[in-house]
Structure 1
Amino acid sequence: MKPQRVFVLASQSLFAEAVQTLLAEEPGIEVIGAATVGPECYALVEGARPDVVIVEATGDEQGRLAAQVLDCIPGAKVIGLTLEDNRIHTYYQQEKQGSRVEDLVEAIREPIDWIGRSPKALRLFVVYQGNYGQRILDNVKANAPQSWRVEGWRATSDIPPVVDDPLAFLPMHLPVTDLILCLGEASSCGQLVPSIVDRTGARAVIAPVDNTAWLPDGLIRQLRAELSDIGVATAFPKPFCSLTERSYNLRQHEVAFEDPWIAEFARHFGRPEFDVVCDDEKIVRVEVLRDSACGCARNVAAQLTGVEVREAVQQAGLLHHHYPCMATMRVDPTLGEPLIQLGGDLMRRAVEAKISSRLPRSSYLVPEGHAETSE
């Protein structure tokens, strides 16, 4: 395999020497030159035609140097090191993503993915703590589009109620990410989100509310404000299965949004949506157009085939509960109903929407967002 040819551009000669020493024994990497920042440095870089240029600078200066290098060599990868906070930035045609300096070698070797900035090639990072999050991670990994990259990290359950130093609870390495899915089972986990965003370079966050004890309203307001200030989109669907490409939540609490990263996730996982084929009396086939993140919709679809049409809506609700749904059974103080009931209502409605013309009028559900009480 052809080695990655690296040029080091630094404000200090000692830095350039240190990087050359670091990379000297690394297979597949060849340092072909080094220069200190100055008027002549760009001609040296252009003449060397490296695959990768490592730039040592801080703040706006780093971005300026990276832009000038990319003007000289448009196809190169530029890795900007910031020694003050032990971080690196990788620039693809002046687009940057965050990583850790410990992964310098990995960053050099990784080929440029020119579609990596497209939501269709979503890089999803799932943060979870227990069975609730594990089930969602497993389902998303199993059924996500092949173009996605899905990774997960299990946070400890020993995070204190008030987190003074979030970095103390995070691993040294976190992957470059487009979208974070936070599935904590304690409010303390949500307090880690801004630091995870900072370390991964994430552009958006989904933090579902299937239990208000895990993500209280006050923490939601704090996260929304803090992340909005740095240009990171957020969605806090209550329940998770209320999420669509354009909105989340129910009734008067519905929130509209526009974000391509969240929308890409919600195109495949969120509010259940089916295509149902039936004959005069029975369900013949059910195709899942959008699965619940936990996999419940896929499970319901598999068991509805052969069910009588007049019983399908009620059966969908029962199958939802028996999956089982892991949303809380406690009455939500804002919605006045248990989130598990609202999730069941969404599942029933997804089925009813496709077979309503074949149902007697008396079989129709109660108004949207109000769960049936007969179950």
Structure 2
Amino acid sequence: MKLLIICSEKSDRLPENEFYIKTDTRFANTKFTPHLKNTKEVCTVCGKECTWCRGKYNLNFKDSITQIVKLPDFYQLFEDEPLKYLPSKFEEHDLAVVIGIHQDILVELPRIIKESGGKGLLVPCEGKEWLSKWTRELVIEECKKYNLQYSFPKPFCTLRYDKFPIINQFIDEFKLGKPKFKIYVNNDDVIVDVKVIISAPCGNGYNIAKHLIGNKLGEEAKKSVAKFWHSYPCLGGMHVDNELGDTPLHIGGYTHYSALEYAEIVRVEK
């Protein structure tokens, strides 16, 4: 599968008043893209004690990225000419992953993606200000118009299998979406190994898996998940989203607790 990534590039410009906005640059540039390229900058939790626990997995997907389009991170609140920020055509790709861009620009993407040979659009939402319900529904209508498959996970780590094959292929090929673990425990319920089946798209699953080892199933393991999910750090928004009834940050935490609760448990001899 070939990926097109569209995101924002960090600048020093700041909104002068309420008629200007900045879009997010952190998630795409410090977590998602570095994870796909398997660069060490993606995880710094262990510092100098890093053993590169990700190394036992085949996580270098840089050859699957056909193009990274970086847009500005500073805009007027409403952009009357969004097409001026976009090329007339993208490199050939299967799925466009669009992270933290201006909503007026997002609306223009389905047509260009289709004309560039794309099959689908994946738009994660890490904060309530990233994407309004109205814009999402408008983009879905555009996707239907151009026969594109689509998904709008909020937050990204809630992405799960659905009716669209291109989204399911993304999860299977890159092992990204709603986290899933296989946990090996001894007769004392102490975790001796953890295999990441699916990681959160930020790459946090591998960090959490490493630090689960040595903990006992139950509250001890749950406390480990809480500590290392949060300190990665999670970049989910900290403001309550009305659709979620909670913050994206908290939803990210619950999603990882759920991955622990519903993990496949394999019992091994001491």
Instruction: State the TM-score, normalized to the length of structure 1.
Output: 0.56
How far did 1:271 drift? 0.2
Structure 1 residue 330 and structure 2 residue 239: aligned?
Answer: yes
How far did 1:241 drift? 1.0
Q: Is the 8 A contact 2:183 2:266 kept in 1?
A: no
Q: Is the 8 A contact 1:205 1:235 kept in 2?
A: yes
Indicate which of 24, 33, 58 corresponds to 1:137.
33
**Which residue matches 1:219?**
135
Q: Is the 8 A contact 2:3 2:65 kept in 1?
A: yes
How far did 1:321 drift? 1.3
**Which residue matches 2:155?**
239
**Which residue matches 1:353?**
262
Q: Is the 8 A contact 1:299 1:323 kept in 2?
A: yes
What is the root-mean-square deviation in Å for CA atoms of aligned residues?
A: 2.3
Structure 1 residue 126 and structure 2 residue 5: aligned?
Answer: yes
Q: Is the 8 A contact 1:167 1:195 kept in 2?
A: no
How far did 1:186 drift? 4.0
Q: Is the 8 A contact 2:2 2:64 kept in 1?
A: yes
* Structure 2 CA distance for aligned equivalents of residues 170 and 239 of structure 1: 25
Q: Is the 8 A contact 1:314 1:348 kept in 2?
A: no
Q: Is the 8 A contact 2:121 2:148 kept in 1?
A: yes
Indicate which of 71, 74, 77 corresponds to 1:155.
71
Q: Secondary structure at the match of 1:181?
A: strand
* Structure 2 CA distance for aligned equivalents of residues 166 and 215 of structure 1: 16
* Structure 2 CA distance for aligned equivalents of residues 141 and 188 of structure 1: 29
How far did 1:174 drift? 2.5
**Which residue matches 2:184?**
277
Indicate which of 170, 174, 178 corresponds to 1:265.
170
Structure 1, unaligned runs of 5 or more: 1-121, 247-257, 359-375
* Structure 1 CA distance for aligned equivalents of residues 75 and 178 of structure 2: 31
How far did 1:173 drift? 5.9
* Structure 2 CA distance for aligned equivalents of residues 288 and 197 of structure 1: 32
Instruction: State the TM-score, normalized to the length of structure 2.
Output: 0.76
Q: Is the 8 A contact 1:159 1:189 kept in 2?
A: no
Residues 335/167 of structure 1: CA separation in 2 closer, same or farther (3 Å cut): closer
Q: Is the 8 A contact 2:100 2:125 kept in 1?
A: no
**Which residue matches 2:96?**
180
Residues 320/189 of structure 1: CA separation in 2 closer, same or farther (3 Å cut): farther
Could you say which structure has the greater relative contact order, defined with CA pairs below 8 angstroms and 6 or more residues apart?
2
Matched residue type, 2:67? E
How far did 1:299 drift? 1.4
Structure 1 residue 287 and structure 2 residue 166: aligned?
Answer: no
Deviates more, 1:136-145 or 1:124-133: 136-145
Moved over 6 A (4+): 355-358
Residues 146/235 of structure 1: CA separation in 2 closer, same or farther (3 Å cut): same
**Which residue matches 2:86?**
170
- Matched residues, number: 226
